[in-house]
Amino acid sequence: MNSSFNKLLTFKTLITASMIIVFSINLLSIERVDALSDTKQLVLDAWTLVNEGFYDPEKFEEIQWKRIRQKTLQKQIETTEEAYSAIEDMLRPLEDPYTRILRPKDYELLKSSNFGSEINGVGLQLGEDDDKKVKVISTLGGSPAEEAGIVSGDFIEKVDGTSSKELGLANTASKLRGESGSKVLVEISSESGAIREVDLERRSVDLRPVRTKRLRDDSHTIGYLRITQFSESVPKKVEEALQELKEKEVEGLILDLRNNSGGLVSSGIAVADSLLSEKPVVETKNRNGIKDAIISQKETSFDGPMVTLVNKGTASASEILAGSLQDNERSILMGEKTYGKGLIQSLKSLGEDSGIAITVASYLTPKGNNIQGLGMTPDKLLDIPDASEYGSADDKWVRNAELFLESLLEKEKLSFQTSELSNEGIKP
């Protein structure tokens, strides 16, 4: 009896001790979480946002994402700058240059470019090629970079003597930005391998995202509409431009998306909605699979014949627009192969002043074509030099588009006249 009682007492004691140990461990764990410094909390917040939104969760297993969080939080992180650097190190194994930390200056600049009409800097839109080299997607019209002759396809080798390979895409872009009037020395290499240095003075660049004019000859009136980027205000500006062109009785439209490196995807989709009637615009593929295509509304702002100009600086949201027009046979594409950025980022606030961009989805054209890394091939390739000033009287690409539209309009006119003659021959 005593033996059984003693065993029971011993068992109860062990259970109680175990509960105390477990409870103590839980308390310690809670204390450790509660005791996270603000800088480490910033790192944890970044990890959580990426963990919840990144489009390819299979990558997490491959790189041991949870272990990366643990190792990162074990580091000594005392300043905000150290937190930003730790986040950069944490994100690097994802091998996605577009998922990145945005320091306050970069975050504010990106927000202003999406919602405003001006931007300070040198006017370069950057990406990475397959070898992780920092590559120029496009230059902004009227920017210091454009005036210095930097073109789509050039590579950024150094910024103020620091290698872009060492900096990475995000830090290269950040180092190029700065106060208006300040200067930055940039080493550029062309696709042919030629290297040169350019001294660029940063300044405010008027984005003027929507530009339009009327082209006239003896027979037809053509509208010209250039979109330089997709900011929040663009869909409304495009609607106004199309209404203005309709009042001028244009018969066809040249949509110029050259060197449009993207912007807000929602703005690109809204412009497609103005040109397509009840047609699929784009499909997106996120971590849960492919979503149903977004369908345009019935009403359009312009339904006449179109030509869309694209080049290797046409990327992201502008490729969504161009792809929807091409796949629905609404417009032919003319020019050269596009850049091939088919990933969509979501911008999240991080702390008071900083942010984080996270790739949340990839997109497919209405026919299911993947753009990422592939680009889009125009219906009609142009092997003549691109213009130095888009839409000018010397722009041979626009002239080619104009001649093509005039030939379409002549065919429509001839078809209509033939139909009228046939109807006249029918007697009651």
Which residues are known catalytic residues?
Answer: 316, 327, 341
Question: Distances in Å between the alpha carbon of 414 and those of 132, 332, 425?
Answer: 53, 21, 17
Question: Distances in Å between the alpha carbon of 410 and those of 140, 247, 322, 414, 416?
Answer: 36, 21, 25, 6, 10
State residue 66 phi and psi, 5-degree precision. Answer: -70, -35
3-state secondary structure of 316: coil
Element spanning 33, H or E: helix 2-34
Are the CB atoms for 359 and 343 separated by under 8 Å?
Answer: yes
Going by C-beta distance under 8 Å and a sequence separation of 6 or more, which residues neighbour residue 338?
Answer: 310, 311, 312, 314, 315, 318, 319, 322, 371, 375, 376
Give the separation between CA 411 and CA 14, rounded to whole angstroms: 93
State residue 233 phi and psi, 5-degree precision. Answer: -80, -10
Tokens of 397: 């690409």
Residue 370 is given by DSSP the state B
Going by C-beta distance under 8 Å and a sequence separation of 6 or more, which residues neighbour residue 151?
Answer: 136, 139
Which residues are paired to 198 by β-bridges? 186
| Ordered DSSP codes for 253-282 | EEEE-TT---B-HHHHHHHHHHH-SS-EEE
How many Cβ atoms from other residues are within 10 Å of residue 220's Cβ? 17
